[in-house]
Homo-oligomer: A and B are copies of this chain.
């Protein structure tokens, strides 16, 4: 009877509900279509009535699914202890690798496709959620590192936001849009590591003090 909770996290979800959301994620990954209420109910072996009771409507289910996935990929924050040129470089490069790995993953691609689709149809909440837990979460995670790097005299920039966006651009480049559009890119671990390394080198060339 009660509408679904406003924010979905790891808590306020029962084990069964998480299983349902995982089913929705699975359904989403292999072919964005097929993600129907009936499909989710069948895949999760639950009834549609339960889905509506738990999540309100289809949008609620989708929202919960996105938030559930976001809750799962909480990245460990980069620690800014013992900051040297080398440790900063390592942190940046690892951040780049993590970012590319996540972005190139099936779930991220499928989720972003879903959110992009819905962003074009009034109900923009999915897009906002993905933005908040994707792009903006990345910024909040890396900016302290950049600040620390500047405080330690290792980096030089005026606007932290601009510096982050540049790093983002150097790392991601055309990868995400190409993947979203269905381009078959080979992005094995080797390539990702090389890309992150190049991005790190270029970023230091631009912002190194």
Q: Which residues of A contact B (CB under 8 A)?
A: 31-33, 109-110, 112-117, 119-122, 124, 127-128, 130-131, 135, 162, 165-166, 168-174, 176-178, 180-183, 198, 202, 205-206
Q: Which residues of B contact A182 (CB under 8 A)?
A: 119-120, 124, 127-128, 131
Could you tell me the distance in whole angstroms from the C-beta of A169 to the nearest C-beta in chain B? 4
Besides A31-B120, A119-B180, 6 other CB < 8 A contacts? A131-B178, A131-B182, A135-B178, A166-B170, A166-B173, A177-B177
Could you tell me the distance in whole angstroms from the C-beta of A59 to the nearest C-beta in chain B? 14
Q: Which residues of B contact A183 (CB under 8 A)?
A: 127, 131
> How many Å lie between the Cα of A166 and that of B181 in the bound state?
19
Please give the count of copies of this chain that the complex contains: 2
> How many Å lie between the Cα of A119 and that of B177 in the bound state?
11
Q: Which residues of B contact A169 (CB under 8 A)?
A: 169-174
Q: List 23 A-B contacts (CB under 8 A).
A: A31-B120, A32-B120, A113-B116, A113-B117, A113-B120, A115-B181, A117-B117, A119-B181, A120-B182, A135-B177, A135-B181, A162-B198, A166-B173, A168-B174, A169-B169, A169-B170, A169-B171, A169-B172, A169-B174, A170-B170, A177-B177, A180-B180, A206-B206
Q: Which residues of B contact A115 (CB under 8 A)?
A: 181
Closest to A117 in B: B117
> How many Å lie between the Cα of A178 and that of B144 in the bound state?
22
* Cβ contact of A31, chosen from B114, B121, B130, B171, cutoff 8 A: B121
